[in-house]
Structures are given as structure tokens and as C-alpha cells.
Amino acid sequence: MEILLTILLVLTRILDFITEPFFKCAAKNKRLYLPPLKNEDILKINATELAKKIRHKKISALEVCKAYIQRIKDVNPILNAIVEDRFREALREAKQVDAYLQKTSLTLEEIEKFKPLLGVPVTVKESCGVKGLSLCCGLLSRKGFTAQTDGEVVAKIKSCGGIILLVSTTPELVISWETWSHVNGYTNNPYNTTCTPGGSSGGEGALLGSAASLVGIGSDIAGSLRLPALFNGVFSHKPTPKVVALKGHWPLGEDPKYQQFLVIGPLTRYACDLRLMMNVMCNDKKCAELKISERVDLKQINIFCIEELHDITQPKVSDSIKKAVNESVKYLTEIKGCKLIKYNFMSFNKAMYICGSELYTLKDIPDALKWENANFWTELVLSIFWKSRFTLNLMYAYVIQKIYQCFVGNYTAKYEEMKQEEKLGDNGVIILPTSIGPAHKHNQMFFKNIYAYLILANALGLPASAVPCGLDTNGMPIGVQVIAAPYQDRLCLAVAEELERHFGGWVPPPKKK
Ligand SMILES: *[C@@H]1O[C@H](CO)[C@@H](O)[C@H](O)[C@H]1NC(C)=O
Ligand SMILES: *[C@@H]1O[C@H](CO)[C@@H](O)[C@H](O)[C@H]1NC(C)=O
Ligand SMILES: *[C@@H]1O[C@H](CO)[C@@H](O)[C@H](O)[C@H]1NC(C)=O
Ligand SMILES: *[C@@H]1O[C@H](CO)[C@@H](O)[C@H](O)[C@H]1NC(C)=O
């Protein structure tokens, strides 16, 4: 019965073609620009360097905290990326850090070892759980609900000296590739406010892209760390499953397969900070296994390249992103001495079916309709007219889930075949598009089937970094994805750092002309 899904997806491609001009026209003249950066000398320091400067008392934690809070206040009225802040507590904590550094008997090495993030401001996606702050996640019926404890990762960040500034927006129930909800409204893309920052870690993406955050914590079940990184021109890393604790994340299904799909990971503006954050976030035993800090010799790395998946249901990858993939591969192989391996990952072309069916047949995808005794069909019709208490995005996810569950065949055998094809070993990475193109307009997601490239890494349990590669001719960020075999996260991070050197990494959003 996969024919039904095929027809639907092809229809979506046609609808995308027809509706594109409408979206362009509807957005005309509605664009807002961010104010220019103040405190550039602070906001443009990477977290690794910033932590060092704070430790050495070259810069005060308070000064840093104030600079970020100022930037957040400057941009948030335009971005709408915050659910709830804790600025007052953060400023108090920053003062405590400065006082602590005046009197501590620990050596600088000891501080670096035990408190590697001391004084560094961190933003957190709402669903990761910060004690005392909102844990509503865009669902009207959960409004006012706060986290009773810190999520395990958040606690770790705090114990390593990080200063949490706020929790940022997610789509309703953290299920969508765009960030809007009836609770928080739309979050906007800093590079063009008529576009979405992506989702589900969209609040984090927007804050990082606009220099209102340096390092952020997000989660990823089907691309939610990597799509916002692509759309907002920053870095993110989806770790190997189970190396970063999920405890405290909401929602969290019981199906053991959840632990394979869903991961918590970092978003950063500078590539080197992915390593810093992974060292902080991984649980200690796994951290040793990952050898995150071990130097990677690029000359030993095999590069595989997927420029585009070949499947009639898949939208074309934009020329800008194809070019970025091509240039990345060229740079790594011709200049940096990596070895190019020509290999056609045939089974990956059907990712949409195989990985999609793995995801949507998870046993207990959080079901807001069931919790609230709502009727599927009624809410679906109402949501199309923006009249349901649920967003159309959430209803859309449930529709897709039903389609996979009812009409799509058994892909267990094909999934195994796909796993067999991934033979990256301890020295192979795939360079491929993060998604089909740069950020699209708000609500355009329904016509853009953007997730095949993203969901591959979740379904196969592979680590994957999103790497920005500059801006396209419209001034929107583009980027590539770097995938490695399980537990080879350090290869993704090493390649990300190398590509940052080549492409220049994060670029500030445009000023009004
Ligand atoms: C950005 O916004 C303006 C609307 O003022 C629009 O004309 C332009 O095409 C947008 N760029 C993209 C990439 O959507
Ligand atoms: C971090 O920033 C410092 C100062 O700008 C720079 O020298 C250093 O190379 C950066 N670190 C990394 C690992 O890129
Ligand atoms: C990059 O593009 C060039 C020119 O179109 C092509 O010859 C080359 O094979 C491409 N490289 C990769 C790795 O796809
Ligand atoms: C799918 O097929 C596999 C064998 O390929 C079988 O073991 C499994 O039980 C099937 N699953 C369902 C839900 O039918």
C-alpha cells in the first residue's frame, strides 16, 4: 500500500510548486530587521575561549551575562523565541562566579577540569526541563506547568558552571519542523523574519543565529537539532543515541526505540564549542568511549558523498546546498587529504519510507488527543480553519502517523538492509545535505517534504553534525550534514571544525540597508 503514500508525496510536490508564489507574495514587505550587535567584543568570543577568559579573570562573568541579556532583549521582540527567562537569577549567579574566582584555592587547571563552563551563559529548549521554569511545550492545556526538577543534562550544565538564561520556544508538543504554537505564537528566523527558524529546537536556532546565545541545548527525534541549525546558520550535533541522558525531557515515550530516535545535544555558534559541550553533556562512562577530545587525523578519514536522494517523492535539493556539499567534499579530499570513496547508498533513497515507518510506528508517540478526549476528525477539520485548540502542525503529524500505520507496509527487512549498508567504520563520514534547502516561509512546511535527509541519522542511530556553509544569494544560511558511525562523534566534530575554517562558519544576520 505504499503507493498511497507515494501519490500523496508526489501531490505534495505539485502543491508546493503551485503555492510557492502565494507564500512569496503573502510575505512581501512584512520583513523586520534585527538591531545591530552591541558588545561585539564579547558576543563574538567562542565559548571555549570565553570560559578561559572568565577563569583567568580577564573578563567578568557578570559583564558577559549582561551583554547576552541585553542582546536577547534587543532581538526577542522581533524573534519571539523565549518562553520564560531567569535573568535575575542568572545575574546573581554570574556575580557569585566572579566572587568565587576571587577566593577559590583551586588552580586554573582544576577549575577547567571540574567547571569547564564556569560563567558561560547557556540557553535551553523548553522541553529539556529547567527547574522552576515553564515545561508547557506549546500545549494550551499545559499552560502554567513548570519543571519540578532540572533535566539530567541541565543539572550537568549547571554543575559544570554554566549559567542558564532562559527556556526557548518549541512547536506544540515538540512535534513539528516549524516553531509555532497557540501558547507562544510564531518564532521568526533572524535572517528573514518572514521565514521559519525551523523546528523543533526553533527558539534555540533563532537565538543562536542572532548572537543572542552562544551555546544552546536542544533535542532531536527527526532532525530537530539539525534543521534549526541549517535554517539559522549555526552548528549542532546530534550525538550517538544514549550517550547523553534524556531524563527530564518532556515528552518522552516508553517504547525502548524512543531512546534510539530521541537525543539531546548542543547547538553552538562556533564549531569548537560542540566538543566542549559534548564533553560536558555526555555521561562520564560514555564520554571516555567516545574519545571526544582525541585528535582526529583528517588524512585517515574516508569521505562518502550523497548529493541528493533519488526518489520521485523527494523535492529537489536546492542548487546552493548541492554546491555546498560538492565544495565540502572537494575541500576535504583535495586540500585536506581525506580519501574520497565512491559508493552509492542505494537503500538510502527510500529513507522516506523506511525511516519514516520506523519513526511513526513507535508505540507511544505522545497523543494529546487521547489525553484530552478530543476527536481526531473534528480537531483536524477545526485546525485547518485555525479554530482547534491544537495546531495544524500537530494534527498534520498525526495524519502522517495514521498514514504510515494504516497504509504503509512492513519495512523491517528493508530497514535491516539499510543498516547493513552503513559501513562507515571508525574512519568514515558521509557528507550530505542537511535538508532540501534554506529556510522557507512560515506554514510552508505542509508543502515541503523536508525530512528524509534528517531522519536517516535518527533511524540508523548515527551521530550527525549540522555545519553552516555561508549564505545563499538571498542571504539565507545554507549548510551540510556530516554523519559518522555510532560512537564516532569526534569525526563529525573534526570535520565540522575543518569546514568552519573553509566556509567561515556563522555569519551575523543582515542589517537593514
Ligand atoms: C525575505 O523577505 C522579503 C520580504 O520583505 C522577501 O521579498 C524575500 O524574498 C525574503 N527572502 C527569502 C529567502 O524568503
Ligand atoms: C576561539 O576563539 C579564539 C579567539 O578568537 C581563537 O583564537 C580560537 O582559535 C578559537 N578556538 C577555536 C578552537 O576555534
Ligand atoms: C562536484 O561538481 C563537479 C562539477 O559539476 C563534478 O565534476 C564533481 O564530480 C562533483 N563532486 C562531487 C564530490 O560530487
Ligand atoms: C515485519 O516483518 C518481519 C520480518 O521481515 C517480521 O519479523 C515482523 O514481525 C513483521 N512486523 C509486523 C508488524 O508485521
The 3-state DSSP class for residue 466 equals strand
Kindly list the protein residues whose Cβ atom lies closer than 6 A to any atom of ligand 3. Answer: 305, 307, 326, 329
Average pLDDT over residues 114-126: 98
Interval 378-409: pLDDT, tens:
999 999 999 999 999 999 999 999 988 887 77
| Interatomic CA distance for residues 332 and 129, integer angstroms | 38
CB 218 within 8 A of CB 201: yes
What percent of the chain clears pLDDT 70, i.e. is strictly above it? 100
Residue whose grid cell is 562520564: 284
**Measured in angstroms, how far is the CA atom of residue 417 from the centroid of ligand 4?**
14
Q: Give the number of whichever ligand sits closest to the CA of residue 308.
A: 3
Ligand 4 atom 2 nearest Cα: 412
Mean pLDDT (the chain) is: 95
Q: CA–CA distance from 332 to each of 285, 304, 341, 343, 433 (Å)?
A: 32, 11, 12, 17, 16
Q: Is the CB of 31 under 6 A from ligand 1?
A: yes
**Measured in angstroms, how far is the CA atom of residue 410 from the centroid of ligand 4?**
6
**Measured in angstroms, how far is the CA atom of residue 56 from the centroid of ligand 1?**
44
Closest atom, ligand 4, to C-alpha of 410:
1
Closest atom, ligand 3, to C-alpha of 327:
1
Query: 12-21, 49-58, 358-367 — which is least confidently predicted?
Result: 358-367
CA neighbor of 439 nearest in space, from 81, 80, 196, 188: 196
**Measured in angstroms, how far is the CA atom of residue 48 from the centroid of ligand 2?**
8
Q: Give the number of whichever ligand sits closest to the CA of residue 318.
A: 1
Q: Is the CB of 412 under 6 A from ligand 4?
A: yes
Q: Which three cell numbers stand for residue 355?
A: 525511516
Interval 260-299: pLDDT, tens:
999 999 999 999 999 999 999 997 778 888 999 899 999 9
**Measured in angstroms, how far is the CA atom of residue 249 from the centroid of ligand 3?**
42
R_g (Cα) of the chain, nearest Å: 22
Ligand 4 atom 12 nearest Cα: 410
Of 357, 410, 411, 420, the residue with max ligand 4 atoms within 8 A of its CB, to mutate for a pocket test, comes to 410
Q: Give the number of whichever ligand sits closest to the CA of residue 438.
A: 1
Interval 450-496: pLDDT, tens:
899 999 999 999 999 999 999 999 999 999 999 999 999 999 999 99
The catalytic residues are 125, 200, 224
